[in-house]
A and B are shown apart, each in its own frame.
Chain A
Amino acid sequence: MQINNVQGMVLKGIKQIIMLILLIYLVFPFIWLVSISFKSTAEILTGGIHVIPKDFYFDHYRSILNDSNLIQSVFNSLVVSIFSMTITVMIALPAAYSLVRFKTNIKNAVLGWILASQIFPAILVIIPLYMVLRYLHLTDSIFGLTMVYVVWELPFVLWMLYGYIKNIPLELEEAAFIDGATKLQYVYRILFPVIMPAIGATAIFAFIISWNEFLFALVLMKNPENVTLPVQLSRFTGMEGQARIGLLAAASCLATIPSLILFTFIRKGFKSGLMTGSVKV
């Protein structure tokens, strides 16, 4: 018994040490980003290894507030991400329901598209996409980019919702139909609240997909007023490089915060295996 206890303690210790090493790899780059965002440019360039700045320097954050292009790009990113997330979830919900319930050829075609969409390199779509948008007079427009992101998020959102709805018992909708509800009423009034937590998690992922997207925004948005945050940040990384690294770090920290906050919301979901539905399909 005693030996077992000692063994258990050693095992626990080893586990924590391995965990710690992996955590340093995963977390340190972010800590370092936060750290240099509070250092003066001179201090960054000396290449010290201290994480806590010698004196806290807030000018990078102050200059972000004065950089109207940057503020505008944050606003654009928020608008595009929130609208595309909302539209995607609202149109994907009845669609996912019908994919679960009706077994027709259309269902197979849509499921096939979901899978196939993962293998098509964005580069193949992007120039013809530009042509389609031009035809619809949606080039260089926030709405155009929103619609592109809706389609970009759809495979993932459909897949997740399909997994959740599959696990909802048939009795629920039978009861609703007996009470005279139509399919759409059932989907938005009954199904929606029932799988609300799952929808929340899915919506957050959808938000992050467009918040992070770079290539489409880079190619499709030319007007400086329409640029999104990742594209705006990538403009800082060019020639000027090192001179503005502090500002860049500060802006990067701010750009990470929304996703970080949203992730902590769905953390409970990870714990209880919220993703299981999507893995099992």
Chain B
Amino acid sequence: MNQHSLKKSQEFSQLKILLPILIPIILFSLLPLGRGIYLGFTDYTLGSSIKFNGIENYFQLFKDHYFWKSFRVGIVWTIAVSLGQLILGMGLALLLHSRIKFFSIYSVLIIIPWAMPPIIRGIVWRQIYDPDSGILNSVLMQMNIIVNPINWLSSFEHVIPAVIVAGIWGGVPQTTIFLLAGLKNISTGVYDAAKMDGAGIWTEFTRITVPLLKPTLAAVLSLNFLWNFNSFGLVWVLTQGGPGGLTRLPMLAAYEEAFRYGYVGYAAAIGNVMIIILSVVLYFYLRIQFKEQVKT
């Protein structure tokens, strides 16, 4: 058997094993996806026939004031939430990694937000932020920090920080657990050597932990970025995109275009633009990963 046909027969036997995953992937992922991308180049509205209209949707998007606003909000939300999750997750991972007392209790408690479906995260934070019966206002008023109750989710100044705090909260557990796994991969020998050289905690962190953790950090940060940019449920429950479209993330905008106004083609075009932005993030992530692999 020559090299070529060996490879062919290998491919064939792999194809057989992979068939049970390939069929659902093709039917329920690739096919709809291809169709969805195509719809972004049509003027399809719910109930009408589908007509190809080239890049007309994108000209319209370019002029669409609401679209730009929604993307600006999306970027601010994504960066703030991803960074917040990274910083808190890193802090927690370091604390848990440092042979802290009560480790086992803490490690159960910190996953609680993760166990809650995004819808319930929204329900909880809506109750916390409620202007009349919410605990946040009650506490702040008792401590005399504010005099009048604040309507967190409907005031223009407060709504963005309010949804960001709730958004960070839901993603800290995953981030912590992934970073903790990364920390466990660093051999303790490296730290012992550094201690012998008299390195302080800060030097240890910046010179050893961060560089060695770089692949994990890149993975966590870019995955969080993708997930946060595509998130829907939490903000949907908290504000439905309000007040005045201030928290209308791209996903909420696309959902409204498709299911409230029936502009499916236009919604798909928004989806296509989101793919382009996220591909750039994925590209940078893969570049970092690739460089690391070449090094080792």
Contacts and interface: CB of A to CB of B under 8 A. Distances in A.
Interface of A: 12, 15-16, 18-19, 22-23, 25-27, 29-30, 32-33, 36, 44-49, 91-92, 94-95, 97-98, 102, 104-107, 110, 113, 115-129, 131-132, 136, 147-148, 150-151, 154, 158, 183-184, 208, 211-212, 214-215, 219, 229-230, 233-234, 237, 242, 245, 248-249, 252, 255-256, 259-260, 263-264, 267, 270-271, 273-276, 278-280
Contacts of B135: 32, 47, 49
Q: Which of A44, A150, A270, A274 has the most CB of B within 10 A?
A: A270
25 contacts: A16-B101, A22-B91, A22-B110, A26-B110, A26-B169, A36-B127, A49-B139, A113-B29, A119-B226, A123-B267, A124-B275, A125-B32, A129-B28, A129-B32, A132-B28, A150-B24, A151-B24, A214-B233, A229-B117, A230-B117, A233-B117, A237-B126, A256-B116, A256-B120, A276-B185
B145 to A, nearest CB: 13
A118 B223 contact: yes
B133 interface: yes
B169 A29 contact: yes
Contact of B100 (A19, A126, A127): A19
Nearest to A116: B282
B254 A147 contact: no
Given A95-B18, A263-B108, A214 B117 contact: yes
Interface string B237-273: 1000000000000110011001100001001101110
B259 A219 contact: yes
Given A47-B133, A117-B29, A214-B232, A270 B107 contact: yes
B178 A44 contact: no
Interface stretch (B7-15, B59-67, B155-163, B192-200): B7-15
Given A23-B109, A32-B127, A151-B29, A212 B258 contact: no
Contacts of A25: 88, 169
Contact of A242 (B133, B137, B172): B133
B194 to A, nearest CB: 17
Interface string B189-224: 000000000000000000000000001100100010
Contacts of B29: 113, 117, 125, 151
A264 B108 contact: yes
Contact of B177 (A33, A94, A237, A275): A275
A117 B100 CA distance: 38
Nearest to B132: A47
B150 interface: no
Nearest to A273: B184
A131 B35 contact: yes
A119 B283 CA distance: 11
Contacts of A27: 109-110, 112
B116 to A, nearest CB: 5
A89 to B, nearest CB: 11
Contacts of B237: 234, 237
A43 B117 CA distance: 26
Given A92-B21, A95-B21, A260-B115, A124 B268 contact: yes
B288 interface: no
Contacts of B114: 208, 259, 263
Given A48-B138, A94-B17, A214-B117, A123 B255 contact: yes
Contacts, number: 284
B181 A276 contact: yes
Interface string B98-124: 101101101111111111111110111
Contact of A127 (B30, B39, B227, B281): B39
Listed from nearest, the 5 A-B pairs whose CB atoms lie closest are A124-B271, A128-B35, A259-B115, A128-B32, A124-B36
Nearest to A46: B133
A230 B233 contact: yes
A241 B236 CA distance: 14
B235 to A, nearest CB: 12
Given A15-B100, A256-B116, A30 B282 contact: no
Contact of B119 (A122, A124, A233, A276): A233
A154 B21 contact: yes
B178 A275 contact: yes
B178 A29 contact: no
A23 B120 contact: no
A264 B24 CA distance: 31
Nearest to A184: B17
B18 A106 contact: yes
Given A26-B109, A32-B135, A279 B101 contact: no
Nearest to B281: A119
